Chain A
């Protein structure tokens, strides 16, 4: 198992390096530069002065080498749109905010989704199945900003239960989490339902029934264990998505999260922030894939045994 993990970490670094290089050249090749997006009537001389200061006038390759050297010393550089702010501090301040909303929303969405999926599959073609399918359908087709706008208006204006925008208390958490857990809930419900349906057709369920095992135990011990495995592969990609936050929810509820920051950094051509955040996102994405593979190996004996010999 240890060799397996080491090899994967090596691959992770290679992938990370490729992504960084790809994003670097991508970001630098789209039109516009940090300063023109900030100041409207910039005289040419000031613009050249600015480009000189940050070394953007040098050929791209030179900039790339400088960027990589800087990176190896662990310095992700400074933001250009907000001079003086270290990218590392930006991540330290904003990632937990996005992480909390995303994390709780995913946890609720995942748990409730799995439950609904099982209920729907066990009552195939009866009203619970239909109900869950309709809910899942609504969850995926209604855009997030509709939920957010309606919830915001109803629960902060007509019935002032929660603060409309901002961040700081538990009250600020409720509405954004409610909007964000609709997506995962819908997808996990549908996905779990199809996985449970597959498993219930297997023969070992019949053996369990023949053993006189109670239906609750059949569901929890036999059906759940085997149908849960495919969901793990899905959960790891969504875990990676938590920190990148949701641009829409964060703008509507004015939450200082990474989602809004990343999109505006791209629009402002804030190269160092875009590259810095992208490294963090890619890192968490690949890490979560590694964790999920390890988790899968632990839980699914077939893969673990295959890995060992």
Chain B
């Protein structure tokens, strides 16, 4: 009897296992094996392929595709594919998208947008009220929208979000279906270039409630693409939205976005063609792909500055000279070469070269403050000793021990931090201890101020306003560097519409920040993108938000 029992048990287990396999393999949405793109491939008259599709790399799983609760940069970039914001940035300039045109009042407080005729995928027209619904849901206190600060210039937006004011007092109104009027509480010249206004459907939000934007079927799209399927932590598939007003300037019919966390796996996918293009940094692979004739290369700046921030309330780093010594002691060329294998450019200032002030390029017109400081000071060690004497810590750097906190714990993070440690110890003769925490612990330590030196990186927006304002909060930003002059410079700049004047104000603010060494910029991050030569029209400037406009494949 027992033998029959165990045989039956084994059989049953096998059947359930097999059934389980089938069900899980054909995941609920649809069978998404990547090779369904191999429909026959021909060429149209102007050399473009008839079957236009792309397989691209997505850095992480989007958290939630709901404008009122989205969290990270991945979600924001996805919105540009599936929704139609009021304005987009194309070839480095602000252009009309959802809004055909707009006019700003003289005092710069009222913006009136004239909407373009565009439709949601269910055929409903995109109206001004849709854009107002989005703003209303974003400042709704029980959505706890993480990016409230980006919209703080809109009248009563912050007050409503903290529950002090009623939603009706929001400075956004729709006189008629096609015009939207925004009122600001203070002039903000960088409003259109650094803030995104997406539309949202109140009825859809009502229907799906909390699960809005968590599945491909739980959302409504009106952008160039619609989200066809979403296998969490694996891949998203976008298909072209023919109802989109600018549909004919988009050639790509279908985009499959693969989420691949492991670097070796990403490079292997590019090498065997399952990815069409990818940012590559490992030197060996760079040589390998450069040697291939069916691949081309383009440099992409990430508009992100990697830096070391000092805690100005700390006993040692409250002294300016000590901070300057530590900032000047870093060999930025070595760090850029080792950490990013040469893709990054050493940074002697905060604002990356991509930033614009109106139509003026910031970096071209403002000299990097640190190079100036470096000329004045020839021996950082002497400067450090001076600072130590001012603090009454004696004059022997070897007795000084400081702690450098790093925000990652991977093996590579340890190797890079050891390089910083070596550079400081050799140049200044002091002892540097390293502390590793996972990013969550690191962030909370830095925000709470229990650190001496910490590695950090800040992304820039179109205008320097966003980066510079990190240190103009009353707490003095993460460096706790309270400088009234800096705060007034940054605030005044954000309100001067004249580009040249604004540029000079930003320049003076940056010089103050770098000279007093609240931070020590290290390098501007960049990446080297390799793409198969059959892919054309890939966009190179960082701030562009034009989705896959103008991209097409020929000769795949």
Residue of A nearest to B163 (CB): A49
**Contact (A251, B261) CB under 8 Å given A38-B72, A84-B211:** yes
Chain B residues, Cβ within 8 Å of A165: 258, 260, 262, 265, 269, 274
| Contact (Cβ within 8 A) A43 B148 | yes
Among candidates B31, B148, B234, B473, residue contacting A46 with C-beta atoms closer than 8 Å:
B148
Chain B residues, Cβ within 8 Å of A86: 211
B294-329 at interface with A (beta carbon < 8 Å): none
| Contact (Cβ within 8 A) A82 B63 | yes
| Contact (Cβ within 8 A) B444 A152 | no
| Contact (Cβ within 8 A) B274 A46 | no
**Contact (A42, B210) CB under 8 Å given A152-B264, A167-B27, A254-B262:** no
Q: Assess whether B537 is interfacial by the CB under 8 Å rule.
A: no
| Contact (Cβ within 8 A) A49 B443 | no
**Contact (A169, B25) CB under 8 Å given A82-B61, A149-B264:** yes
Q: Assess whether A187 is interfacial by the CB under 8 Å rule.
A: no
| Contact (Cβ within 8 A) A163 B440 | no
| Contact (Cβ within 8 A) B149 A96 | no
| Contact (Cβ within 8 A) A164 B447 | no
| Contact (Cβ within 8 A) A267 B210 | no
Binds A, one of B16-24, B85-93, B341-349, B539-547: B16-24
C-alpha spacing A251/B259, complex, angstroms: 10
**Contact (A157, B24) CB under 8 Å given A83-B63, A267-B439:** no
Q: Assess whether B32 is interfacial by the CB under 8 Å rule.
A: yes
Among candidates A36, A46, A170, residue contacting B443 with C-beta atoms closer than 8 Å:
A36
Chain A residues, Cβ within 8 Å of B473: 43
Q: Assess whether A53 is interfacial by the CB under 8 Å rule.
A: yes
Q: Assess whether B142 is interfacial by the CB under 8 Å rule.
A: yes
Q: Assess whether B538 is interfacial by the CB under 8 Å rule.
A: no
Chain A residues, Cβ within 8 Å of B359: none
| Contact (Cβ within 8 A) A252 B265 | yes
Q: Assess whether A50 is interfacial by the CB under 8 Å rule.
A: yes
CB distance from A282 to the nearest CB of B (A): 22
A78-109 at interface with B (beta carbon < 8 Å): 78, 81-86, 93-94, 96-97, 99-100, 103-104, 107
| Contact (Cβ within 8 A) A84 B214 | yes
C-alpha spacing A256/B229, complex, angstroms: 15
CB distance from B26 to the nearest CB of A (A): 8
Q: Assess whether A268 is interfacial by the CB under 8 Å rule.
A: yes
Q: Assess whether A18 is interfacial by the CB under 8 Å rule.
A: no
Chain A residues, Cβ within 8 Å of B162: 45, 49
Q: Assess whether A1 is interfacial by the CB under 8 Å rule.
A: no
Binds B, one of A27-35, A188-196, A197-205: A27-35
Interface size bracket, A side: 35 or more
**Contact (A168, B262) CB under 8 Å given A49-B162, A256-B234:** no
Q: Assess whether A298 is interfacial by the CB under 8 Å rule.
A: yes
| Contact (Cβ within 8 A) B25 A37 | no
Among candidates A53, A84, A93, A163, residue contacting B144 with C-beta atoms closer than 8 Å:
A53
Residue of B nearest to A253 (CB): B265
**Contact (A157, B146) CB under 8 Å given A82-B61, A103-B17, A167-B27:** no
CB distance from A204 to the nearest CB of B (A): 19
Q: Assess whether B66 is interfacial by the CB under 8 Å rule.
A: yes
C-alpha spacing A289/B27, complex, angstroms: 31
Q: Assess whether B39 is interfacial by the CB under 8 Å rule.
A: no
| Contact (Cβ within 8 A) B231 A256 | yes
Among candidates A32, A84, A163, A253, residue contacting B274 with C-beta atoms closer than 8 Å:
A163
Q: Assess whether A39 is interfacial by the CB under 8 Å rule.
A: yes
Q: Give a binary string over B126-138; 1 marks a CB under 8 Å from any A CB, 0 the rest.
A: 0000000000000
Task: Pick the most buried of A33, A46, A251: most chain B CB atoms within 10 A of its CB.
Answer: A46
CB distance from B23 to the nearest CB of A (A): 7
Chain B residues, Cβ within 8 Å of A268: 440
Chain A residues, Cβ within 8 Å of B41: none
Chain A residues, Cβ within 8 Å of B24: 96-97, 99-100
| Contact (Cβ within 8 A) B214 A82 | yes
Task: Pick the most buried of A152, A165, A298: most chain B CB atoms within 10 A of its CB.
Answer: A165
Chain A residues, Cβ within 8 Å of B32: 168
A213-257 at interface with B (beta carbon < 8 Å): 251-256
| Contact (Cβ within 8 A) A39 B146 | yes
Q: Assess whether B441 is interfacial by the CB under 8 Å rule.
A: yes
Chain A residues, Cβ within 8 Å of B64: 82-85
Among candidates B21, B66, B142, residue contacting A100 with C-beta atoms closer than 8 Å:
B21
C-alpha spacing A251/B149, complex, angstroms: 34
Q: Give a binary string over B229-240; 1 marks a CB under 8 Å from any A CB, 0 the rest.
A: 001111100000
C-alpha spacing A78/B315, complex, angstroms: 43
Among candidates A81, A107, A254, A267, residue contacting B260 with C-beta atoms closer than 8 Å:
A254
Chain A residues, Cβ within 8 Å of B213: 84
Q: Assess whether B501 is interfacial by the CB under 8 Å rule.
A: no
Q: Assess whether A143 is interfacial by the CB under 8 Å rule.
A: no
Among candidates B146, B212, B232, residue contacting A93 with C-beta atoms closer than 8 Å:
B232
C-alpha spacing A24/B23, complex, angstroms: 33
Q: Give a binary string over B108-143; 1 marks a CB under 8 Å from any A CB, 0 the rest.
A: 000000000000000000000000000000000110
Residue of B nearest to A33 (CB): B444
Chain B residues, Cβ within 8 Å of A261: 233
CB distance from A31 to the nearest CB of B (A): 5
Q: Assess whether A153 is interfacial by the CB under 8 Å rule.
A: yes
Chain B residues, Cβ within 8 Å of A152: 264-265, 268
CB distance from B12 to the nearest CB of A (A): 14
Q: Assess whether B71 is interfacial by the CB under 8 Å rule.
A: yes
Q: Assess whether B2 is interfacial by the CB under 8 Å rule.
A: yes
CB distance from B311 to the nearest CB of A (A): 17
C-alpha spacing A16/B103, complex, angstroms: 63
C-alpha spacing A53/B162, complex, angstroms: 11
| Contact (Cβ within 8 A) A36 B440 | yes
Residue of B nearest to A152 (CB): B268
| Contact (Cβ within 8 A) B268 A36 | no
CB distance from A162 to the nearest CB of B (A): 10
What are 15 A-B interface contacts by the 8 Å CB criterion? A30-B441, A36-B447, A39-B146, A42-B146, A46-B149, A83-B71, A85-B214, A164-B265, A165-B262, A165-B265, A253-B265, A254-B259, A254-B261, A256-B233, A267-B438
In addition to A94-B233, A97-B24, A254-B259, 9 A-B residue pairs with Cβ atoms within 8 Å of each other are A37-B443, A43-B148, A54-B144, A82-B61, A83-B63, A99-B20, A153-B268, A166-B234, A172-B25
Top 5 nearest A-B pairs by Cβ distance?
A: A32-B440, A37-B440, A96-B24, A256-B233, A84-B214
The interface of chain A, by Cβ under 8 A from chain B, is 30-33, 35-43, 45-46, 49-50, 52-54, 78, 81-86, 93-94, 96-97, 99-100, 103-104, 107, 149, 152-153, 156-157, 160, 163-170, 172-173, 251-256, 260-261, 267-269, 298-299
